[in-house]
Amino acid sequence: MAFPVPASTLGASPAADAPPIVRVAGVTMRYANGVTALDGIDLDVPRGKLTTLLGPSGCGKTTLLKIIAGLLRPTTGTVAVNGTPVIGPGPERALVFQDFALLPWATVLRNVAFGLELRGVAKSEREAIAAKYIREVGLSGFENQYPNQLSGGMRQRAGLARALAVDAEILMMDEPFSAVDEQMRRKLQEDLLALLAVEKKTVIVVTHSIEEAVYLSDRVVLLSRRPSRVSAIRDPGIAHDMPPDQIRRDRRYLDTVDEIWDMLKQYLQ
Ligand SMILES: Nc1ncnc2c1ncn2[C@@H]1O[C@H](COP(=O)(O)OP(=O)(O)OP(=O)(O)O)[C@@H](O)[C@H]1O
């Protein structure tokens, strides 16, 4: 099953000099139980690119994503999207949850249309929009199935279709492929890249996988151990103009994976 997107669009990237779409300035997050997750995060997220947050387990990646999503208020500091301070969730940001957060009692069609339903979009219109994205993620024919009738990869596609249906500029994905096997993970990575070449979204991904980060990202943001700060930023610049297996053997890809691993392993000791 593939997203029906022409391979020639793979690797298309937007202008490099666009102003950042998200600006995180001096963000600190101290939870009520006294845990300080983030300690002065400054970060610009480039528009129309895929940025990955990578760091040791428990360093605060999800916390940072939730703050950008407006689901958590930072203790100090600010987040601005298109120059406007974030004070809560907004229509320009869509979060794809790790567990897909699909409604078990609703069909794929209703799930994908759900964000539009919440916004009061008329049934016929929202179902037409949902059907388009269901097609785009390769789930045609499964419109009337329920989440428990889908595989993990298909649920992930449904979650992605739902995020695309609300037409947010920014897609935020927390460990998007962690619940599927390695084969499906690679397939979904390819499909995501192909889809993004057409949809031109800004994407922020949290992952534990260095290989995934380097493979997918225009920009990798490495966070330090908790309380975390931005410890390094790398732009892998992997051109997706050769077959995936060849990219994974490519010197540039392997060197970038090694470099990031060298930086990350200091936090594991
Ligand atoms: N609601 C909460 N209340 C208190 N502490 C929390 C809360 N949510 C997260 N934490 C703590 O904040 C720290 C950062 O958590 P977070 O989930 O953001 O890290 P992460 O880097 O995404 O973790 P992982 O890599 O394990 O998924 C952890 O120590 C976690 O226990």
This complex has an ipTM of: 0.98
pTM of the model: 0.88
Predicted pLDDT of residue 12: 36
Q: Is 60 in the pocket of ligand 1 (CB under 6 A)?
A: yes
Helix (H) or strand (E) holding 36: strand 36-45
pLDDT of residue 119: 86
CB of 59 within 6 A of ligand 1: the answer is yes
pLDDT confidence of residue 98: 60
Q: Using alpha carbons, list the distances in angstroms from residue 133 to 129, 206, 251, 252.
A: 7, 23, 36, 34
Quote the ligand 1 centre to 97 CA distance (angstroms): 15
59 CA: nearest ligand 1 atom: 21
- What is the Å distance from ligand 1's center to 221 Cα? 17
Please tell me the predicted confidence (pLDDT) of residue 163. Answer: 85
Q: Say which residue the tokens 């419109």 belong to.
A: 143
Residue among 19, 21, 37, 41 at smallest CA distance from 29: 37
Q: How far is the CA of 36 from the centre of ligand 1 (A)?
A: 9
The alpha carbon of 223 and the centre of ligand 1 are apart by a number of angstroms equal to 13
Top mutation candidate among 36, 62, 230 for ligand 1, by most atoms within 8 Å of CB: 62
Phi-psi region of 202 (alpha: psi -120 to 50; beta: other; left: phi over 0): beta
* Cβ-count burial 180-219 (b if 16+ within 10 Å, e if not): beeebbbbbbbbbbbbbbeeebbbbbbbebbbbbbbbbbb
CA 207, chain centre distance (Å): 9
Pairing of strands 50-54, 202-206: parallel
pLDDT in tens, the chain (269 residues): 444 433 333 333 444 567 899 999 999 999 999 999 999 999 999 999 999 999 999 999 999 999 999 999 999 999 999 999 999 999 899 888 765 678 899 999 999 999 899 889 999 999 999 999 999 888 999 999 999 998 888 888 898 888 888 889 999 998 888 777 888 888 888 888 888 888 889 999 999 899 999 999 999 999 999 999 999 999 998 888 888 889 999 999 999 999 999 999 888 76
